[in-house]
Amino acid sequence: MSADNRETILQASGLVMQFGGLRAVNNFDLTLKKGDLAGLIGPNGAGKTTVFNMITGVYTPTAGKIEFGDQEITGLEPFRINQMGIARTFQNIRLFPTLTVLDNVRIAYHPHAGYSMMDGILHNKKFQVKERELTERAQEFLSVFNLQDRQGEIASSLPYGEQRRLEIARALAAEPRLLLLDEPAAGMNPNESVALMDLIHFIRDRFKLTILLIEHQMRVVMGICEHITVMDFGEVIARGNPTEIQANTRVVEAYLGPGAAALSEKFRRKK
Amino acid sequence: MFKKIDRNKLIFFGGLIGFYLVIQVLQLMGIVTSFLSTILSMGTVLAIVSLGLNLIYGFNGQFSLGQWGFYAIGAYSAADITYRWSNNQDTSALLVLLFSVILVGGAIMILYRTLSRLRGLDALSAFVIYLLATFGFVFLSIKLGGLLTPAMNSALGALPEWLSFTIVYILAVLIAGLVAAEISFLFGLPVLTLGSDYFGIATLGFSIIVKVLLDNSDTLLGFEEMKGARGMIGIPKVDDWGWFAVFAFFMIVVVVTRNLLHSSFGRAIISVREDEIAAKAMGIDVGFYKTLTFVIGSLFAGLAGGLYAHVNAFLHPDTFNFIRSFDPLIVVVLGGLGSMTGTIFASYAYLLVVEWLLRQILPPGFENWRFVVFPVILLIMMLLKPNGLFGNFEMPFLRQLLPPLKKKPAAEAAAAPQEAAQ
């Protein structure tokens, strides 16, 4: 990343999150450049989702600073951070369960609706024009994800894979510049994971996004991330591209236990 | 598509106006007695209250028992305005409340804009600022109202009696709604930060406070004409066209609610009920939409209170005690949470059962059985049809249509990645 003159989109420095006596995240730094597709990995309880929650404003960091573009967003409310251009999906899918697929996406588009509440109550000309625009835009998002024929269905009745896709579609409808995906491949079979990887590449190029994702499936992470940050017990233990990470002793030991790196080395030599 | 919408609109409004005309004709023929038409008015009033509660509880997901308190506030403020005018030709209540409503409302809007930009201001400090502003402006309005009352008295007195009374009546009902709405804003500000169940308890507390204050309205609050626990008499009854006014307000409330819910703002309101955390992450200002819904719901309650005062022409604090505060809740749950159609039908059904079946048809003494009948009905409902009588059903006009898919260019469709599995 030395000779990189792309603009920095997210800069987190010295993030600390303390829950009572537990330091969930300690001294976390992260820099994302425009167009990055970065991964955040680590064993369970390493503090990855806490980092997401700090970036999206669900938690206010105990210490540290987060800058998005040239604005500081530390401690802002989640909805403001979303409106500034950071959207996310959740580890356990959080759709609006009893609403239609279309409405799920239209809600995310609300900050861009472009008419006032008075227009909404009166249902005047401006409302009708803007509402039609909004609906067509939402349907566009759905068709990108191949969900356009499902628009009238209730979100919770969709199969799991489609719920995941809908959640990503909904996050994109907020028109973000940075997209945070929390375990997008969780619960997917290998085929679905491959399709998901294509999809993530596709949306990054089509919507000119920067993407940061948390993922446990190494196949997905190593397959699509250009840059990986590894966390363990709230601390960053390694950074680098997939090959560097795979060769890193500390990473292997964090996942498989102390001594595992030496063992795997022995195993490799035997082969 | 547009022809269809127009037809739905036509059927809906045609149906409502037809219903109104049929009742009107039956009244003239003497088939619908004045007792029955009072029940219909009350049913309509209850429908307005319940639509407000349905907005708060059914669509926004905030369990509120305070609706009845705002109804009481609306009823007493409207009654005080018309009482003073028709008995003493005195517009002081009208003017003071009018000025307070306008000034405090303006102050709240301006303050909300400025305060929401401040970072790190917690709800209670904001509440203190709003409260101080409110007290200041109410004091100012009392002074202003006192100054302008004589001029207004003679100005209104110069008009023919029916016209001046109509003006005072309509203004009184509108002001009643706004008073309730503004009080609900002040009350909701600190309380809406509570989680749903605690919010319910706090609003129940509010209803009880209002009832106790009304019990002592002549001594504690100093309004002689409200006569405290003895009940307020001498409120002018709007008889001849009162039913029309009630029905007109009802139609406005239905259309406003329907339009709001079918707009992007309505979807934002519903998203708060569905999943607060997801709504926040999707750029919805959850606090704002909770407050907005609570204020609109209370506005409806206040309007209904103002109408009720002039249908009944007698107000008693016991009407507003906390047992009765479950009335709109029962209606909303019976009709179906989140169904406007259900709420409207359940309001009339409730009134017919309580006032007509239990009081008129069955032998005397049965009216107290409502405390048995309704819990039993609710129990059976919860077991057999937990979504309420109408569930998610809406009448054609109130139902939201699914927008048709636009045919998109084939090239673009091909560009979308096809999911391998599923």
Q: Where are the domains of chain B?
A: 57-325
Question: Other C-beta atoms within 10 Å of B37: how many?
Answer: 18
Does the pLDDT of residue A267 top 80, yes or no? Answer: no
Minimum distance, in Å, between the CA of residue B263 and any CA atom of chain A: 5
Question: B267 vs A195: CB contact, 8 Å cut-off?
Answer: no
Left (φ > 0), alpha (ψ -120 to 50) or beta: where does B391 sit?
A: left
Cα separation, A63 vs A258, in Å, equals 31
SS3 of residue B333 by DSSP: helix
Q: What angle do CA B298, B300, B304 make, to 5 degrees?
A: 115
Question: A195 vs B417: CB contact, 8 Å cut-off?
Answer: yes
The reported pLDDT for the residue numbered B7 is 77
Contact present, B258 and B397 (Cβ < 8 Å): yes
**Which member of A95, A110, A170 has the closest CB to residue B267?**
A110
Question: B421 vs A111: CB contact, 8 Å cut-off?
Answer: no
Tens of pLDDT, residue by residue over A65-74, are 999 988 999 9
Ordered strands of the A235-240 beta sheet: A86-88, A178-182, A210-214, A37-41, A227-232, A235-240
Average pLDDT of span A36-60: 92
Cα separation, A179 vs A202, in Å, equals 13
Tens of pLDDT, residue by residue over A163-222, are 998 999 999 999 999 999 999 888 888 888 888 899 899 999 988 999 999 998 888 888
Q: What angle do CA B198, B199, B202 make, to 5 degrees?
A: 85
Distance of CA B164 to the CA centre of its chain: 26
Classify each residue of B51-69 as buried b or exposed e, where b means 16 or more C-beta atoms within 10 Å of its C-beta: bbbbbbbbbbbbbbbbbbb
The reported pLDDT for the residue numbered B1 is 44
Contact of B38 with chain A, judged by CB distance below 8 Å, is answered with: no
The reported pLDDT for the residue numbered B415 is 46
Question: A102 vs B282: CB contact, 8 Å cut-off?
Answer: no
Contact of B284 with chain A, judged by CB distance below 8 Å, is answered with: yes
pLDDT in tens, chain B (422 residues): 444 557 778 888 888 888 888 888 888 887 777 788 888 889 999 999 999 999 999 999 999 999 999 999 999 999 999 999 999 888 899 999 999 999 999 999 999 988 877 777 777 888 999 999 999 999 999 999 999 999 999 998 888 988 999 999 999 999 999 999 999 999 998 888 877 789 999 999 999 999 999 999 888 888 888 888 899 998 998 877 778 889 999 999 999 999 999 999 999 999 999 999 999 999 999 989 999 999 999 999 999 999 999 998 899 999 898 888 888 999 999 998 889 999 999 999 998 888 888 777 777 777 777 778 888 888 888 888 888 888 778 887 888 877 877 655 544 444 444 443 33
The DSSP secondary-structure symbol of A25 reads E
Cα separation, B175 vs B396, in Å, equals 33
Q: What is the CA radius of gyration of chain A?
A: 20
Q: Which residue of B has its CA nearest to A145?
A: B416
Contact present, A100 and A133 (Cβ < 8 Å): no
Does the pLDDT of residue A271 top 70, yes or no? Answer: no
Topology of domain A1-85+176-271, per CATH? Rossmann fold (3.40.50)
Q: Where in chain A is the domain with CATH 3.40.50.300?
A: 1-85+176-271
Question: B260 vs A117: CB contact, 8 Å cut-off?
Answer: yes
Question: B281 vs A191: CB contact, 8 Å cut-off?
Answer: no
Indicate which of A52, A92, A94 best probes the interface with B, i.e. most B CBs within 10 Å of its own CB. Answer: A94
Minimum distance, in Å, between the CA of residue A255 and any CA atom of chain B: 30
Question: A79 vs B264: CB contact, 8 Å cut-off?
Answer: no
Contacts of residue B274 in chain A, CB cutoff 8 Å? 96-99
SS3 of residue B253 by DSSP: helix
The reported pLDDT for the residue numbered B407 is 59
Question: A174 vs B283: CB contact, 8 Å cut-off?
Answer: yes
Q: Which residue of B has its CA nearest to A172?
A: B282
Question: A162 vs B282: CB contact, 8 Å cut-off?
Answer: no
**Most trustworthy range by pLDDT among A3-17, A253-267, B125-139, B321-335:** B125-139
Question: B419 vs A140: CB contact, 8 Å cut-off?
Answer: no
Contact present, A117 and A153 (Cβ < 8 Å): no
The reported pLDDT for the residue numbered B406 is 67
Q: How large is the ipTM?
A: 0.89
| Residue linked to tokens 């018309």 | B82
The reported pLDDT for the residue numbered B14 is 86
Contact of B403 with chain A, judged by CB distance below 8 Å, is answered with: yes
Among B39, B3, B50, residue whose Cα is nearest residue B329: B50
| Residue linked to tokens 């356990």 | A92
How many CB pairs below 8 A link A and B? 147
DSSP B367-383: GGGHHHHHHHHHHHHHH
Contact present, A177 and A203 (Cβ < 8 Å): no
Average pLDDT of span A39-51: 91
Cα separation, B188 vs B342, in Å, equals 27
What number of residues does chain B have?
A: 422
Among A15, A109, A110, A103, residue whose Cα is nearest residue A55: A15
Contacts of residue A189 in chain B, CB cutoff 8 Å? 421
What number of residues does chain A have?
A: 271
The stretches of A145-248 forming alpha helices (DSSP H) are: 160-173, 190-207, 218-224, 242-247
Q: Which two tokens stand for residue B61?
A: 């997901």
| Residue linked to tokens 């369960």 | A97
Cα separation, B293 vs B185, in Å, equals 10
Angle between helices B34-53 and B340-351 (to 10 degrees): 140
Phi/psi of residue A63, nearest 5 degrees: -150, 160
Q: Which of residues 286-325 of B touch A (CB under 8 A)?
A: 286
Cα separation, A235 vs A228, in Å, equals 14
Q: Which residue of A has its CA nearest to B253?
A: A121
| Residue linked to tokens 């259900």 | B342
Cα separation, B422 vs B224, in Å, equals 73
The DSSP secondary-structure symbol of A157 reads G
Contact of B265 with chain A, judged by CB distance below 8 Å, is answered with: yes
| Residue linked to tokens 């900050």 | A111
Contacts of residue A98 in chain B, CB cutoff 8 Å? 274
Q: What is the CA radius of gyration of chain B?
A: 23
Does the pLDDT of residue A1 top 60, yes or no? Answer: no
SS3 of residue A60 by DSSP: coil
Q: What angle do CA A215, B285, A94 make, to 5 degrees?
A: 30
Does the pLDDT of residue A95 top 60, yes or no? Answer: yes
Cα separation, A49 vs A91, in Å, equals 8
Residues 6+ away with beta carbon under 8 Å from B318:
none
Cα separation, B291 vs B264, in Å, equals 17
Does the pLDDT of residue A270 top 90, yes or no? Answer: no
Q: Which two tokens stand for residue B329?
A: 């809740």
Among B306, B293, B226, residue whose Cα is nearest residue B257: B293
Contact present, A87 and A68 (Cβ < 8 Å): no
Question: B260 vs A139: CB contact, 8 Å cut-off?
Answer: no
Among B35, B60, B57, residue whose Cα is nearest residue B328: B57
Question: A102 vs B120: CB contact, 8 Å cut-off?
Answer: no
Q: Which two tokens stand for residue A253?
A: 């030991």
The reported pLDDT for the residue numbered A100 is 92
Give, in order, the Cα–Cα distances in Å from B30 to each of A179, A257, B25, B34, B79.
Answer: 68, 89, 9, 8, 29
The reported pLDDT for the residue numbered B265 is 95
Question: Other C-beta atoms within 10 Å of B315: how many?
Answer: 26
Does the pLDDT of residue A257 top 90, yes or no? Answer: no
